[in-house]
Structure 1
Amino acid sequence: MKLFKTYTILKKITSRTIISFVCFLAMGVSVFSQENNSSKEQWKKMQSIIKSIKYPKFPNKTYNIVDYGAQSNTAYDNTAAITKAIKECSKNGGGTVLVPKGKFESHAIHLEDNVNFHLDKDAEILFSTNPKDYYPLVHTSFEGTEYMNYSPLIYANNKTNIAVTGEGTLNGQAGNENWWAWSNKEEYGWIKGTPSQVDPLNRLRLVEMAENGIPVSERIFGEGHYLRPNFVEFFECKNVLIQNVTIINAPFWVIHPIKSENVIVDGVTINSHGPNNDGCDPEYSKNVIIKNCTFNTGDDCIAIKSGRDADGRRVAMKSENIIVQNCTMYDGHGGVTIGSEISGGVSNVYVENCKMNSPNLDIAIRLKTNSKRGGLIENFYVRNLEIGQVKEAVLKADMFYNVHGNQDGTFIPRIENIYLENVTVKNGGKYSILAKGYKESPIKNITFKNVTIENVKETYSIENVNNLKFVNTFINGKLVKD
């Protein structure tokens, strides 16, 4: 009788255990299936974004700058000739403004509607290093804060259907003897006791003006304030292309689409190792494709932005639908980065088929914000990434990014949905994942699928991260489990 009761109890327990195990297994399969389907849907979404972005088209008319008085290979200011060609081209309905073979000196170049500014192979624009040549001041931005400052070297404001193309070179001629020294760093030519951007009336004053709600039109800087201009800036533009050119020696950020929509950066080579020489910084921008480019920079190769602190919250505009394909990154602080100027938020970033490799590349995928910036970073999808070497981390997500002193505030950021798939790393540096969130706002949903990382010191270092998942992921030869 006792044996029968024991058998009956064991049978019930076993049945319940089996049922529970099956349910647990089914639940796990269901969660994995949902995540897998979510990833597939995101990549489908990327394809629909690509289809929506069209290359600008131009009439078959050519305006050679030489016909407007430009002179090559001589100390001659070609600004007037280039400006005249651009204005006439646009006035006549658009076409191509041609820079033929040769070296042409110039001040700031401002684009107009329906103009393709095209540099022939062996054509080079040499931009002046005299700050006075970038007057009058224009509406622009410095590290996520809008103001009136020197014109970017190539600038378009509120223009449609514009391009910079060709196999020529844009040479900012920046170096330790001019623009770079303003950074207040001795390795870039700054001498102690000379003025720089860190002086109280310069960068700090600009940030304070934004915090105090001073209108942009009254944030007047320029001469005497040592805030460097961006190289190529598209401000509030639509249907933009920059293709195949080589850009070297930038004063500051290299390519900066701000408040722009439908932007294609294709086949551009950037080689510029100055301070804050980010390669491409889409800011408050939507539907941006960066593809087939090579980055060798003094800062982040690609850095997606959306405004700094109060100014970002004033504008309140996301950067979204940013696609990076078939790019190669060498030197840089980060390969593909979001932040730190991120107050407006970033959604839907897709990175695929890229290569990163340099002993001077700090981090492959980098997200940086803090409680002064705030903002939401969501939906960052990466696949088919080949990494040779990074110094610090394959993935770094940091809610406590600290630069320019105290960065504590009341705007707690959010980071959600980071997905890396089919990634191989030969030398992973210090960490595979370095992630730090807030207790009240943990980083949510990091997935590594089919990832192989070799020669890394630590698997990960995390703080306040929810739902970290590893699927078929090997680090230092060992399968990593959740």
Structure 2
Amino acid sequence: MSEQLRRRTLLLTSGALAAGAVLGGGTAPAAALTGPVADARIAEILRRIRPPRFPDRWFDITKFGAVGDDATDCTAAIRAAIEACHRAGGGHVVVPAGDFRTGAVHLLSDVDLHLKAGSRLAFSQDPAAYLPVVATRYEGTECYNYSPFVYAYGQRNIAVTGSGVLDGRADATHWWDWTGGPPPNEGPDKTLLLSMAQAGVPVEQRVFGDGHYLRPNLLQFNRCENILLDGITVMDSPMWNIHPVLCRNVTIRGVTVDSPHGPNNDGIDPESCTDVLIERCKISTGDDCIAFKAGKDADGRRVNVPARYAVVRDCEMADGNGGVTAGSETSGGVMDIYVRDCRMSSPRLERAIRIKSNPQRGGTIANIDVRRVTVGQAADAVIEIVLNYANVITGDFPPDVHGITISQLTAAAAPRALNLLGLVDDPLRDIRLQDCRFDGMEEENSIQYVEDLRLDRVWINGVRVDN
């Protein structure tokens, strides 16, 4: 950073603070959490999170007719093994080493789907393998659509564990081609679904699936309790990879998401979930690595359930639009999210910490606390908080973003440290950076409509820029 650029960054920061004081509307911001208070909150959350445990019963899918030859359709055999395990009172459904072709896998209560080393569930590329339609959430809006590849609805005590692979087998000619280009594609169906939600059409009448082009998730648990994902690898999903929705008590541990090439291929997206632990995961995606969501626009406000009480710790992120993200589906609110001891770096990692919404989404985004994050390389701003997502700057539901604390973050190289953009009538409030260091920054910060931005022991290219 040149001396002239350094001075412009300092002036822009102080100017944004002055503008925020004028534009804040007189509302006192809620204070960001202090370190000891945040640590106590984390301890409370972790005390509530308990992974499910399963009886010592084992059901090998090959005993029910599955063949790991990468050719035989094993859908019925896997279903039979899950049903037998559930009827027996629970246990483990075992996928041994081999390549098992399958359609939709629906889990039932008290069942752990356990993938042994060398196993792969190779999911069908035929959309008909994911019918009949099921209740789901598509980009924050409820509907009936193709089943997610691994799915559960209203179940308790469920898990997918082991060191095997869930391979979505999406590519440029299967699933991903629905995102754009010549018809048919998902565009008209997305517009139709949003218009149905806006008009208040009952969810039971929002039926897509056959003849439509809304892509399913690789793994979605909907309205479930006591969930464990441990050790597995997921790859090449049609869209979002791991998507718990309206769930409680979720542990995602030691999971690898290897899906950097697909569109909207978010890694782990807890949506409207409570008590979530994500730890020791490795994520490389074509979109956000971890994104906390809470429903979109009118339908998100109808359901009105926040994403709340989550801990992300000791994870590694490579490719992605954002390392840890809140949004853009924020209508139910995203609150009390704690990020600790994560490492992020890639020439294709656009941002490390990202909060995104707009005045059509609404929702409260508050008490986001990030500590000890190491960023090697990012392709855009290291930290981005913006309220103009998708270039929307007007609407009746301005988000309330306040109480964001980022401390002990270091970054080695990126175009800029901060991109903070509130709106004229809806400023960002109470944003605190403490003990952070940004080296190798090429451009000035971009800061507009921020009220009470505090920089305490913050260095940019070796220059302390506190205010």
TM-score norm. by structure 1 comes to: 0.89
Distance across 1 between alignment mates of 2:152 and 2:393: 33
- Asked if residue 372 in structure 1 is aligned to residue 372 in structure 2, the reply is no
Query: Hey, what does 1:22 align to over in structure 2?
Result: none
Secondary structure at 2:54 match in 1: coil
Secondary structure at 1:438 match in 2: coil
Deviation at 1:391, TM superposition (A): 1.2
Distance across 1 between alignment mates of 2:424 and 2:195: 29
- Asked if residue 455 in structure 1 is aligned to residue 451 in structure 2, the reply is no
Deviation at 1:467, TM superposition (A): 1.2
Q: Which amino acid aligns with 2:284?
A: N
- The C-alpha deviation readout for 1:242-280, integer Å capped at 9, x for no partner, is 110011111110000000000011000011120000001
- The C-alpha deviation readout for 1:33-91, integer Å capped at 9, x for no partner, is x9797232012111110111001000001000011111111411101111011011011
- Asked if residue 442 in structure 1 is aligned to residue 430 in structure 2, the reply is no
- Asked if residue 196 in structure 1 is aligned to residue 196 in structure 2, the reply is no
Moved more, 149-158 or 392-401: 392-401
Query: Hey, what does 1:16 align to over in structure 2?
Result: none
Q: Which amino acid aligns with 1:124?
A: R
Distance across 2 between alignment mates of 1:384 and 1:263: 23
- For residues 317-336 of structure 1, the aligned pairs below 5 Å read 317-336=305-324
- For residues 220-259 of structure 1, the aligned pairs below 5 Å read 220-259=207-246
Secondary structure at 1:481 match in 2: coil
In structure 2, which of residues 158, 165, 172 is the aligned counterpart of residue 162 of structure 1?
158
- Asked if residue 113 in structure 1 is aligned to residue 109 in structure 2, the reply is yes
Secondary structure at 2:47 match in 1: helix
Secondary structure at 1:296 match in 2: strand
Query: Hey, what does 1:352 align to over in structure 2?
Result: 340
Query: Hey, what does 2:299 align to over in structure 1?
Result: 311
Larger RCO (CA under 8 A, 6+ residues apart): 2
C-alpha change, 1:467 and 1:330, in structure 2 (3 Å) is same
Query: Hey, what does 1:409 align to over in structure 2?
Result: 395
Query: Hey, what does 1:68 align to over in structure 2?
Result: 64
Query: Hey, what does 2:200 align to over in structure 1?
Result: 213
Deviation at 1:440, TM superposition (A): 2.6
Deviation at 1:155, TM superposition (A): 0.1
Give yes or no for contact 2:32–2:430 (8 Å, CA) kept in 1: no
Q: Which amino acid aligns with 1:324?
A: V
Give yes or no for contact 1:326–1:353 (8 Å, CA) kept in 2: yes
In structure 2, which of residues 455, 460, 466 is the aligned counterpart of residue 475 of structure 1?
460
Runs (5+) with no aligned partner, structure 1 = 1-33, 185-189
Distance across 1 between alignment mates of 2:345 and 2:124: 33
Distance across 2 between alignment mates of 1:342 and 1:481: 31
In structure 2, which of residues 373, 385, 390 is the aligned counterpart of residue 397 of structure 1?
385
Largest Rg, 1 or 2: 1
The runs of at least 4 consecutive aligned structure 1 residues that moved more than 6 Å come to: 34-37
Secondary structure at 1:42 match in 2: helix
Deviation at 1:441, TM superposition (A): 2.2
Q: Which amino acid aligns with 2:206?
A: R
Distance across 1 between alignment mates of 2:226 and 2:63: 28
Distance across 2 between alignment mates of 1:37 and 1:134: 45
Q: Which amino acid aligns with 2:49?
A: I
- Asked if residue 288 in structure 1 is aligned to residue 273 in structure 2, the reply is no
Distance across 2 between alignment mates of 1:436 and 1:382: 19
Q: Which amino acid aligns with 1:421?
A: S
- Asked if residue 142 in structure 1 is aligned to residue 138 in structure 2, the reply is yes
- For residues 412-427 of structure 1, the aligned pairs below 5 Å read 412-427=398-413
Number of equivalences:
437
Runs (5+) with no aligned partner, structure 2 = 1-29
Distance across 1 between alignment mates of 2:33 and 2:215: 46
Distance across 1 between alignment mates of 2:285 and 2:85: 34
Distance across 2 between alignment mates of 1:47 and 1:127: 39
Give yes or no for contact 1:459–1:475 (8 Å, CA) kept in 2: no
- The C-alpha deviation readout for 1:75-115, integer Å capped at 9, x for no partner, is 11101111011011011110000000111000000000000
In structure 2, which of residues 35, 51, 54 is the aligned counterpart of residue 55 of structure 1?
51
Q: Which amino acid aligns with 2:456?
A: V
Distance across 2 between alignment mates of 1:136 and 1:353: 42
Distance across 1 between alignment mates of 2:341 and 2:231: 19
Query: Hey, what does 1:8 align to over in structure 2?
Result: none
Give yes or no for contact 1:446–1:468 (8 Å, CA) kept in 2: yes
Q: Which amino acid aligns with 2:423?
A: Y
Deviation at 1:418, TM superposition (A): 1.0
Distance across 1 between alignment mates of 2:212 and 2:32: 52
C-alpha change, 1:274 and 1:101, in structure 2 (3 Å) is same
Moved more, 42-51 or 321-330: 42-51
Query: Hey, what does 1:465 align to over in structure 2?
Result: 450
Give yes or no for contact 1:422–1:450 (8 Å, CA) kept in 2: yes
Distance across 1 between alignment mates of 2:33 and 2:160: 39
